[in-house]
Chains A and B, each alone.
Chain A
């Protein structure tokens, strides 16, 4: 178990070094596996289930990209990352893409040299508080003790919000969501703050969710989306348009139920035909097969289906579409056209 590990590592390292010169797309195709960075566990977005299978909203994006590139939605190696390790993991090439509810900010985009390829969830930071406290607004939280999950933009937003309203608070930084829950439920902090989606997901696991309320204030914009390394535009395009394909599929009514039938032959709608590769050469332009988007959508359905299955109102997490409705329904989810 000792020396041979090094030996094996050196072999692997030298083999991998030879293959690494090419772009990420070629790397992934050569490897036959997509390395996708996710959280260490946030129910609804990315968490291993009882069988050790990763499930969730972000996981579905990873699977869709794997299907688009490799034709197999299970050809994904999920790499759990913490707030601390995620950017290094991506920058060092340990993972090919990061789908870990990461907020798109200027400094991350520019200074850390990443490319956000789109937004798959429009979120905002909210507050959860026990109902019995009788607090109606976040502006009444003067002097409160606030549990924050570290490693996100949450801490900065929180500091900004309380400073702007000139009220004081006491932060309690928490490493994992589970520990944050424990602190909050034991009353060690009055308020729990993180992205509103995360709060809803957390509240869903409580014994009596009805005893806790989300305050109306959303104190920040948190556009969450997958990101890739800066500079590898081919790969960035693949991830971007896979996400767009999921969104467009919902807009055009392509679902996992009817996709086999629709992609069998060119149908009446030219845009659907282009999307599904029965017309035009969009896949070829991306360096993928003609059926790339069909494969991507077939894995876990279109954007709406993924949303409904993992975090939608039918699930324990129970998030409404809200901002994340299609633009045709008054939301912000909007994909550039496929042509």
Chain B
């Protein structure tokens, strides 16, 4: 017969720090913290010693100093007298421009290729498989160099458009494809904004976009009202004419008031002038990023579609829905939940991969802040740190958006 007693009170022993699960995690964390602090101290100490030995110090003053170099593609005002900071901003905008453009085209390309890869047409699906495999398995760097090289060698120089018997001619008389870039007719708002130039055109387009956004909300109100009436009476009033009017009339009115004209590029001096120029480096980067990432997106789309159970297709077929509409109404909406998260990480990859623009002389932020500014000022540490900070902010923003989306589309289960 035994009598249960309280277990003997153990006095605290040193070995309990490691063996007792109550204290162990604390011990380990303290050890980790000490180790981390030691490593950081060691590295910081090395940096300090190295820099002191060289007699240089970390300073961000160079950002305010004139950059001294010119940039060929600038979306904001910039001259060689502007500061290095301004040059960095020009680069940031250029990075974002090529990233956004490439995201759009890569998505379109990827969805097409992904859907076509599942097509019944043997030849087309094989062709799409070849596209996907070729682009996924060869480094992006090679693609960028090759596409830029193709543009340089295959397209004619502006010189070829010159003379009485030019070896190249303008496409439909209004656009020129040259190895310096593509020149297309550019809109100019001659009446209100007066002076022509990129800035006034920019403001004009901003206003136009604002009007479009207004039209969007206007059209929504009309459609909501129509739905209400339909729900109440069962008859949907005709909204097509109203919708068309809301979408197009304000815009057309704006264009007429501001005197929108298209200026066709003409060859003068060394280059084409007038119109809009899309530089060859931009096109090369845009194309390379699109086709490369498009292959990855195609795989995601295919996986997403295949993830939707076959029963869904069959059920839709049993309801008598046509194949095209089965895809757009039944399959794709369900597949999107699987497709979107990897798609967003592909967008992130495009943004990060756009840093390879340095290879083709596209003035993105890696080429301005991390390239010429770094070379000219010799402030390597500062430039690289700022560069990483920029990419980090962009990445965290995009993944933040992705998380919000994922949470909102998560299957709500009990």
Contact = CB atoms under 8 A, between A and B. Distances in A.
Do A and B touch directly, given a CB cutoff of 8 Å in the complex? yes
A26 B160 CA distance: 61
A186 B358 contact: no
A96 to B, nearest CB: 15
Interface in A158-193: 158-160, 162-163, 169-175, 182-183, 186-190
A187 B271 contact: no
Contacts of B380: 84, 87-88
A260 interface: no
Interface string B351-369: 0000000110101000100
A156 B68 contact: yes
A175 B359 contact: yes
A143 B271 contact: yes
B320 to A, nearest CB: 58
A137 B156 CA distance: 26
B70 A155 contact: yes
Contact of A158 (B70, B159, B160, B359): B70
Contacts of B372: 150-151, 155, 173
Contact of A87 (B50, B358, B378): B378
B275 interface: no
B56 A113 contact: yes
A231 B55 contact: yes
A187 B158 contact: yes
B270 to A, nearest CB: 4
B273 A143 contact: yes
Contacts of B135: none
A150 B377 CA distance: 13
Contacts of B79: 163
Contacts of B11: none
Q: Report the interface size class on chain A.
A: 35 or more
Contact of A150 (B149, B280, B371): B371
A186 B363 contact: no
Interface string A91-104: 11000000000000
A186 B153 contact: yes
A321 interface: no
Contact of B70 (A108, A141, A151, A171): A171
Nearest to B154: A186
Given A87-B378, A156-B69, A175 B358 contact: yes
A112 interface: yes
Which one of A111, A152, A155, A188 has the highest number of Cβ atoms from chain B below 10 Å of its Cβ?
A188
B359 to A, nearest CB: 7
Contacts of B316: none
Contacts of A182: 149, 152-153
Contacts of B371: 84, 150-151, 173
Contacts of A145: 180, 270-271
A91 B178 CA distance: 43
B266 interface: no
A186 B179 contact: yes
A189 B180 contact: yes
Contacts of A230: 54-55
Given A163-B81, A175-B358, A231-B54, 5 more contacts: A108-B378, A112-B378, A159-B80, A160-B80, A171-B70
Interface of B: 50, 53-56, 68-72, 79-81, 149, 152-153, 156-160, 179-180, 268-271, 273, 280-281, 358-359, 361, 363, 367, 371-372, 374-378, 380
8 contacts: A84-B374, A107-B377, A108-B378, A113-B54, A155-B372, A171-B71, A188-B179, A229-B54
